[in-house]
Amino acid sequence: MKDTAPELFDLVIAGGGMAGSTLAWALLQAQPQLKVAIVEQQPEQVSSVSFDSRSIALAAASVDLLRQWGLWQGLEKNACAINTINVSDRGHFGKARLSAEEYQQPALGYVLEVEHMGALLTDKLATKTGMTRYAPATISDISPQQQLQHLTLADGRELSCKLLVIAEGGLSASRALAGFSTAEKPYQQHAIIANLALPQNHQHTAWERFTEHGPIALLPLPDKRYSLVYTVADDAVQQVMQLDDAAFTAHIQQAFGYRAGVFNATGKRACYPLSLRLSTDVVRHRVALLGNSLHSVHPIAGQGFNLAMRDIAELVAQVTAATDDIGGYAMLRRYQQARLHDIGIVSNATDALVRLFSNKSRTFALARNMGLLAMTLCDELKRPLAEQAMGYRS
C-alpha cells in the first residue's frame, strides 16, 4: 500500500507542445490560483517535436489572443507581418490577391518560427507559480473517478486532477488510453519544409501556388527569407528529399516560377506525412481534447494551430466560468458545443481545398481557376477568404 497520496491538480495537461504549453500559460494568466501540471514526453521543450524548425502563419485573431495573454510582446520582434496573399495556379489563368489594406487591417497575419514560441513559453512557465512540469514523462494509466481523474505515470508516480486535457498531437497515446477513437484519412502526401534565402525583399507577401508537383506555400520571414511548405505525393518525397541543397533550390524555383523572385539558397529540410485525423468526441468524463489531438488538418491553408488557439481560448473561458466545478459535465459539454462547428468548417474546407488543388483533371483546373478569377473580381467572394485568413470567421 502507498504511503503518500497522489499529488492533486486542478488540471493536468498531457503534452507540453505548442497547444499544451500555450494553454497552461493562458490558464494561469486568467486564473493564477489554479494548480496546473504538464506531462511531456520530451525532456527539453525547445527542441521538442512541437517546437521544431517549422514556421507557422498566425491569423490576426490568434495574434490578438497572444497579445491578450501577454505572449505577443515577447514574440513580435521575431515575427513577420503578411500584408498581401497571392493565390495562383501555375500554367492557368486564375489568381486571387488579398491585401490587408483592402480590409483596413495592419496585417492579414504574421509568420513566426515556432522555436521562438518554444523558448518564450519555456522561460515563462519555468517561473510561473502554480505550474509543475513532469518531463520526460508519459501517462501509463488513466483511472476515472467521480470527482477526479487518477493518473499513473510510466515511472510509477501518481497524480489526480479535476480535468485532464490531452494535447499530445495527432498520434496521442493518452487519447487512446482515455477511450477516444479517431477517424483518419491519409492524403498520401508529405509536406516538405525549409527556409529559402532571397537576394531581394519579399514585401511581406505570402504565396500559395498550385503547381503540377503539388501546392507550394511561401511565407515571408524576417531577414529576406521565405518559409517554404511544399506538398509532395508520397511516392516522390524520397527523391525530392535526397536532392542536394542547390538541386533542391533549383527544383523549387522551377516548380514555383519567378513570381516571388529568385531563391538563393535553402536551409535544413524536414518532412511530415499528411492526414486528416479527427477525434469522434471532444470530451469524455473529466477529459478534454485540444489542438492536434482533437483535429489534425492538412497545412495547405495554415489553419491547424489557429484552430488550436480557438480551442485554448474557449477552454480558458469555460474553466474561468466554472472554477467551482472544473471538469464537470456541464462545463465540458459547453466546451464541446462551442468547438464542434468551427472544427467542422475548417476541417471540411481544408479537405475540399486539398482535393480541389491536388487534382490534375482539366475540369477541376477550370473550376479552381474560375473560382480564383471570381475572387479577384468580386469582393463578396473574397471577403470570406480574407476573414478566414485573419481568423475572424468561424
Ligand X SMILES: Cc1cc2nc3c(=O)[nH]c(=O)nc-3n(C[C@H](O)[C@H](O)[C@H](O)COP(=O)(O)OP(=O)(O)OC[C@H]3O[C@@H](n4cnc5c(N)ncnc54)[C@H](O)[C@@H]3O)c2cc1C
Query: Is 193 one of the binding residues for ligand X (CB under 6 A)?
Result: yes
Q: Which three cell numbers stand for residue 386?
A: 480574407
CB of 317 to ligand X, least distance (A): 19
CB of 367 to ligand X, least distance (A): 25
Near ligand X by CB under 6 A: residue from 88, 205, 211, 292: 292
CB of 241 to ligand X, least distance (A): 14
In the complex with ligand X, which residue's Cβ is closer, 274 or 332?
Answer: 274
Query: Measured between alpha carbons, how far is 357 from 347 in angstroms, rounded to an integer?
Result: 15
Range in contact with ligand X (rule: CB under 6 A) among 8-16, 75-83, 84-92, 254-262: 8-16
Query: Is 249 one of the binding residues for ligand X (CB under 6 A)?
Result: no
Query: Is 18 one of the binding residues for ligand X (CB under 6 A)?
Result: yes
Nearest to 341 by CA among 384, 306, 311: 311
Paired with 165 in beta bridges are 13, 288
Residue linked to cell 477525434: 279
CB of 303 to ligand X, least distance (A): 6
CB of 156 to ligand X, least distance (A): 15
Nearest to 333 by CA among 295, 375, 284: 284
Angle (deg, nearest 10), helices 379-390 and 362-377? 90
Name the DSSP class of 249: H
Query: Is 20 one of the binding residues for ligand X (CB under 6 A)?
Result: yes
Nearest to 56 by CA among 245, 232, 308, 263: 308
CB of 293 to ligand X, least distance (A): 6
Range in contact with ligand X (rule: CB under 6 A) among 40-48, 327-335, 361-369, 381-389: 40-48
CB of 93 to ligand X, least distance (A): 27
Residue linked to cell 502507498: 2
Nearest to 228 by CA among 242, 249, 211, 204: 249
Near ligand X by CB under 6 A: residue from 65, 198, 218, 229: 229
Near ligand X by CB under 6 A: residue from 84, 149, 174, 388: 174
Burial state string for 248-258 with b = 16 or more CB within 10 A and e = fewer than 16:
bbebbbebbee
Query: Is 167 one of the binding residues for ligand X (CB under 6 A)?
Result: yes
Range in contact with ligand X (rule: CB under 6 A) among 73-81, 169-177, 332-340, 344-352: 169-177
Q: State the DSSP H helix or E strand holding residue 140, giving kind and residue range, or none if neither.
A: strand 139-144
Query: Measured between alpha carbons, how far is 252 from 245 in angstroms, rounded to an integer?
Result: 11
In the complex with ligand X, which residue's Cβ is closer, 7 or 325?
Answer: 7
Q: How many residues does the chain have?
A: 394
Nearest to 10 by CA among 111, 132, 93: 132
Near ligand X by CB under 6 A: residue from 214, 302, 327, 391: 302
CB–CB of 166/282 below 8 Å?
A: no
Range in contact with ligand X (rule: CB under 6 A) among 43-51, 232-240, 256-264, 351-359: 43-51
In the complex with ligand X, which residue's Cβ is closer, 30 or 271?
Answer: 271
Query: Measured between alpha carbons, how far is 253 from 126 in angstroms, rounded to an integer?
Result: 43
Q: Tell me which residues in 251-280 interact with ligand X (CB under 6 A).
A: 272
Query: Measured between alpha carbons, how far is 378 from 227 in angstroms, rounded to an integer?
Result: 30
Query: Is 19 one of the binding residues for ligand X (CB under 6 A)?
Result: yes
Query: Is 308 one of the binding residues for ligand X (CB under 6 A)?
Result: yes
Near ligand X by CB under 6 A: residue from 8, 44, 47, 49: 49
Range in contact with ligand X (rule: CB under 6 A) among 48-56, 63-71, 74-82, 246-254: 48-56
CB–CB of 143/269 below 8 Å?
A: no
Name the DSSP class of 129: T
Query: Measured between alpha carbons, how far is 373 from 352 in angstroms, rounded to an integer?
Result: 18
The residue count for binding ligand X (CB under 6 A) is 37
In the complex with ligand X, which residue's Cβ is closer, 92 or 116?
Answer: 116
Residues that bind ligand X (CB under 6 A): 14-20, 39-42, 48-50, 54, 56-57, 138, 167-169, 172-174, 191, 193, 229, 272, 291-292, 299, 302-306, 308
